[in-house]
Amino acid sequence: MVECVLLDKKKIIPCSTYLEGEYGVKGMFAGVPVKLGAKGVEQVVEITLSADENAAFMKSVDAVRTACEKFI
């Protein structure tokens, strides 16, 4: 990750990032593919998920949301 930022590689890598509507998620952090460069996360790369993959992703997001709500 550091190399991508320092060398402005604009490489697509998995990263936990704040989502603002991508993948149907708003206002939460989740691990998704991003283009990482000198400006940090330059783009969230949305890939097509199967129904099963999307269900698993949303289950993960809901688990993070529930855990965060316990501490807020």
- What digits encode the pLDDT tens for the residues 32-55? 999 999 999 999 999 999 999 999
What number of other Cβ atoms are within 10 A of residue 32's Cβ? 19
Return d(Cα 39, Cα 66) in angstroms, integer.
Answer: 31
pLDDT tier at 68 (50, 70, 90 boundaries)?
confident
Query: Hey, where are the domains in the chain?
Result: 2-71
Strands (DSSP E) along 2-61, which ranges?
11-20, 26-37, 40-44
pLDDT tier at 70 (50, 70, 90 boundaries)?
confident
Level-2 CATH architecture, domain 2-71: Alpha-Beta Complex (3.90)
Q: Does the pLDDT value for residue 72 go beyond 90?
A: no
- 0.85 exceeded by the pTM? yes
Return d(Cα 42, Cα 22) in angstroms, integer.
Answer: 14
Q: What is residue 41's predicted lDDT score, i.e. its pLDDT?
A: 96
